[in-house]
Structure 1
Amino acid sequence: MQLLGKLEIKSPERIARFLNTEHVGRIATMDERGYPQVIPMNFVFLDGFIYLHSHIRGEKLDNIRRNPKAGFEVDRELEFLPSYFEDPHDASLADTLYVSVVIKGAAHIVSDLAEKSRALNGLMEKYQPEGGYTPITPPMSVLDHVAVIRVSPVSVRGKYKIGQTLAARARTELAEKILKRSSQTAEETLKVMGFAVAGGKLEMIDEPVW
């Protein structure tokens, strides 16, 4: 339990920042036979709610009308840590650095046109920040041809594993191994871990405590 506490994101601001930078989340609803249906979707975190847009007909909408209880999950795999970082003879030591947020709450199909417009504009601002579109307003007919789902959180839990449970020296050694392995995600992972790379050398610039 102590380790789980160290992996939990304590900062609501960090959770909001993570949700606002990720592009794909997964909504889980219950189908008519009681099985969870999980669908990856674009989303925006706005005013404390998750908003998603959808076709006006579909199984997930039927699920929500029947049972509003829903889950929503977002994750980012930062870096796979090969087992040989620890022991070349023990494959069980392979690990992954990651960030994730899991939300439980109530899903609702938005009918208010002002809220619907605000959610769709929020989605556009997130995914098309360069602009080049006409903002949506309540009188527009496009609102009749798209559904907007709001997930109202009952609980929000964030977890992260970026070496924060390690002593400073061990965390630096892990960062050096990641730098040497030089995967496609290494530079971004090191940044999240609190390291900068200058001239091929590491510099610790931030404590990874969220």
Structure 2
Amino acid sequence: MKLIGRLEIKSYEKIEEFLSEEHVGRIASIDENGYPQIIPMNFVFVDGAIYMHSYLRGEKLDNIARNDKVGFEVDRELEFLPSYFSHPTDASQADTLYISIVIKGKASLVQDYEEKSLGLNGLMKKYQPEGNYIPLQKDDLALDEVAVIKIIPESLRGKYKIGQHMRRDSRMALANKILKRNSSTARQTLKVMGFEVVGDDKLRMIDEPVW
């Protein structure tokens, strides 16, 4: 339990920041046979709610109409840690550094056209930051051609594993192994972990990884 507590994201601002950066989330609804259906979706987090756009018909919309309780999950794999970082032969020692957000809440189809345009404009602002679009207004006919799903969270929890549960010397040792392995994500991972790469092969800790 102590480890789980140390992995929990306690900063709501960090959760908002993470959700604003990630492009794919997964909505889980319950189908007519009682099985969970999980669909990857573009999304935006606005005013404490998740908004997504959809076709006007589809299984997930039928699921929501029947049972509005849903799950929503967003994650980022920061770095795979090969087993040899910890043990030369024990494959079970492989691990992953990650960030994840899990939401439980109630979903609905947005009927109010002003809120519908709010959600769709939020999506455009997030995914098309360069602009080159005309924001939708509440009286635009285009709003009739798309469904907007809204999730109001009843539970919003985040977990992250970036070395914050380790002693400072162990965290530095891990960071050096990540730098030496030099994966395509290594330098970004080190930045998230609170390290700065100095020169080609030196590290300096610039921030304690506390969320």
**TM-score normalised by L of structure 2:** 0.99
Residue 89 (structure 1) shift: 1.2
The equivalent residue for 2:158 is 158
**SS of match in other structure, 2:129:** coil
The equivalent residue for 1:203 is 204
The equivalent residue for 1:92 is 92
| Deviation per residue, 1:127-153 (Å, 9 max, x gap) | 001100000001111101100000000
Measure the CA separation in 2 of the matches of 1:19 and 1:100. Answer: 10
Residue 196 (structure 1) shift: 0.8
Residue 33 (structure 1) shift: 0.7
User: Superposed, which structure 2 residues align to 1:11-160 within 5 Å?
Assistant: 11-160=11-160
Measure the CA separation in 2 of the matches of 1:15 and 1:138. Answer: 29
| Deviation per residue, 1:140-187 (Å, 9 max, x gap) | 111011000000000001000000011101000000000000000001
Aligned length: 210
Q: Tell me which amino acid in the other structure corresponds to 2:60.
A: K
Q: Tell me which amino acid in the other structure corresponds to 2:59.
A: E
Q: Tell me which amino acid in the other structure corresponds to 1:100.
A: S
Measure the CA separation in 2 of the matches of 1:135 and 1:100. Answer: 31
**SS of match in other structure, 1:202:** strand
Gaps of 5+ in 1: none
Measure the CA separation in 2 of the matches of 1:152 and 1:119. Answer: 13
Measure the CA separation in 1 of the matches of 2:43 and 2:55. Answer: 14
Q: Tell me which amino acid in the other structure corresponds to 2:108.
A: H
User: Superposed, which structure 2 residues align to 1:1-20 within 5 Å?
Assistant: 1-20=1-20
Measure the CA separation in 1 of the matches of 2:15 and 2:171. Answer: 23
The equivalent residue for 2:173 is 173
Measure the CA separation in 2 of the matches of 1:115 and 1:139. Answer: 11
